[in-house]
Amino acid sequence: MSRAVRADGEAGKQCSASHGHELSQAVRCARMRGPYSLSRYSGGGLGRESSGLWLIVSFLILTCLGIGCTPTPRILTADEQHVIDRSLVEYPAKFELRRYMTSLTAPTAIAFDEDGSLLVAQGERDEEPTIFRVSKAGQLELFYPRDRKFPFNFPVTGWRMYGPIGGMVVYKDEVYVSHRDANGFGVITALDHKGNHRTVVAELPAQGDYGVTDLAIDPTGRLFFGVGTATNSGVVGLDNWGAGWVLEHPQFHDVPWHDLFLFGYRFDSPNPMAGLFGPADIAVTGPFQAFNQATQLRVPGAISGKPSGAICSVSPQGGPIRVEGYGIHNPRGIAFDNYNQPYFTDTGMELRGTRPINKDPDALLRLVLGQTWYGWPDYSRDLTKISEKQFQPPAELIARTGYPEGVRALIDESDSGLTAPLRDSLWQATFPWMSGAAKLRFAPADWPLRSVAGNAVVALSGDRAPFATDGRQIVGPGGYRVVWVDMGRHSVHDLIRNTALLPRSRVNAKNGDLLERPIDPIFAPDGTLYILDYGHMEDRDGKEHVERGTGQIFRLIPPHEPAKATQPSQPG
């Protein structure tokens, strides 16, 4: 059985705030930390503490001052789960929107266990993630990792996962998660309820911008997963240096599914490694090649059968993987509709790097099984040629790349044996530029809101400016909301959004009733829509800076639900 989480979320939040401040605050942080608080060991006053206790105190103080404390998630009480005022958030009539859980840090995935328990995964890149389980009785437990003795992220030996968790799905009493390993490769792992784990797929190309994304199980029991691209638009550039992975993995780059013939474009950029005794001041980089390498007109396909920028499938027991679609940018969400047809969200290329793309929208696409090419990096995510006028970046962004005339196609489709993506059969809907199309689910066919029933519900987590826009302002936010897609009419409609049309951090950061960055919607067996909110994050120089403890879970409750949730059993 999973061990119960002891610490209270609000106490953890205060503990996190103590990082880098006075020792007295750190002592108070230690006092609040549940079973490892000072009061557990004290005899009533600090004057009577043993020297052993002071070692514990010193350790906790140094921990809070050195690496900080992560807030512990907290289920709100029934009284705290009030109906959110419609003057703040707009949502469907007769439904109730309530907060359910707070104090999450960078939550990325949510799923229901087969017994009806709720699983929530959180954690930033390169950190060890955590998975919490909320039982049907409302007990909050730690599902992963199981071997921690303190409520801190201490380095451990032996097997561990590295975040973020891109997707999570439950199948036959095992919890499947996608994540990275110690070397940055993508992995899919199956976890059971006894603390055991097994690897399903390993060594996926995930060392770049995007990792292994969402997971979904098809009707036959096959596991589908997404793999993002290494770069923004096919060329390793200074934006990737800023993100840090080029220095760590200098030979990493995008890997196509099969051999590609290129037109021969080579892109110039300043060389961060230049010096008196080092390389030249200008680096010349070709598409699908490592930084400062531009020798190939024919780039080889993935020798391992594991390309970047693809959606693949595999048996839940492991074995050979099958590429289902490729030429995809960043498939953040994968889901099967009520007729068992697969769909995915794909985020547009951004206005950054050596080959910046302007106003490439996010999209919802149909996954046609059988190695369909979706056009990246030569087509927008709504499957329009990227050489069209609307995608051209400001002239000053490409003046020094060697191609000031604008963005052109990189791949010779004819010689590469490729066929242009068939937009009429693949495209389903377009989301605004920089809206952050994340995970999606299909509403049950009998959902009370008849207009939404059977259609796609998509979380839009918002933009990554200023990094994704080269410091330029975005005109009007397109994300920070939950939308639904009319699959018959290919139209997008708001389902839940702040009335101010801005995220919580830009309206009133202290008001937890507001949405910040919705990232994963999921329907409970009773029809309640749970919305996982990532919380406040700023992307600077390609690195996410997350405000700990700002992630939340909201519940959109249909009219037939009771007015208030049952009082949860808080960990004690």
> Do 453 and 522 share a structural domain?
yes
b/e map of 113-139 (b: 16 or more CB within 10 Å)? beeebbbbbbbbbebbbbbbbbbeeeb
> Do 545 and 453 share a structural domain?
yes
The answer, yes or no, to whether residue 55 has pLDDT greater than 60, is no
With cut-offs at 50, 70 and 90, classify the pLDDT of residue 257: very high
> What pLDDT sits at residue 458?
98
Overall average pLDDT of the 81-90 stretch: 98
Q: Which domain holds residue 572?
A: 76-105+443-572
Assigned domain for 361 exists:
no
> Do 458 and 524 share a structural domain?
yes
E-state strands within 149-293 = 168-171, 174-180, 186-191, 197-204, 212-217, 223-227, 260-261, 267-270, 282-285
Assigned domain for 508 exists:
yes
The answer, yes or no, to whether residue 12 has pLDDT greater than 50, is no
With cut-offs at 50, 70 and 90, classify the pLDDT of residue 204: very high
Assigned domain for 56 exists:
yes
Task: Measure the CA–CA gap between 165 and 104, rounded to whole angstroms.
Answer: 14
Task: Measure the CA–CA gap between 495 and 333, rounded to whole angstroms.
Answer: 18
Identify the residue with better confidence: 228 or 566: 228
> What pLDDT sits at residue 28?
35
> Do 36 and 61 share a structural domain?
yes
> What pLDDT sits at residue 206?
97
Identify the residue with better confidence: 174 or 136: 174
Assigned domain for 328 exists:
no
> Do 478 and 458 share a structural domain?
yes
What is the domain count for the chain?
A: 2
Identify the residue with better confidence: 57 or 156: 156
Assigned domain for 515 exists:
yes
Give the residue from 244, 176, 181, 175 showing the smallest Cα distance to 209: 244
User: How confident is the model over 172-200, as pLDDT tens digits?
Assistant: 999 999 999 999 999 999 999 999 999 99
> Do 565 and 528 share a structural domain?
yes
> Do 62 and 22 share a structural domain?
yes
> What pLDDT sits at residue 370?
86
The answer, yes or no, to whether residue 58 has pLDDT greater than 80, is no
> What pLDDT sits at residue 560?
72
> What pLDDT sits at residue 54?
52
> What pLDDT sits at residue 470?
87
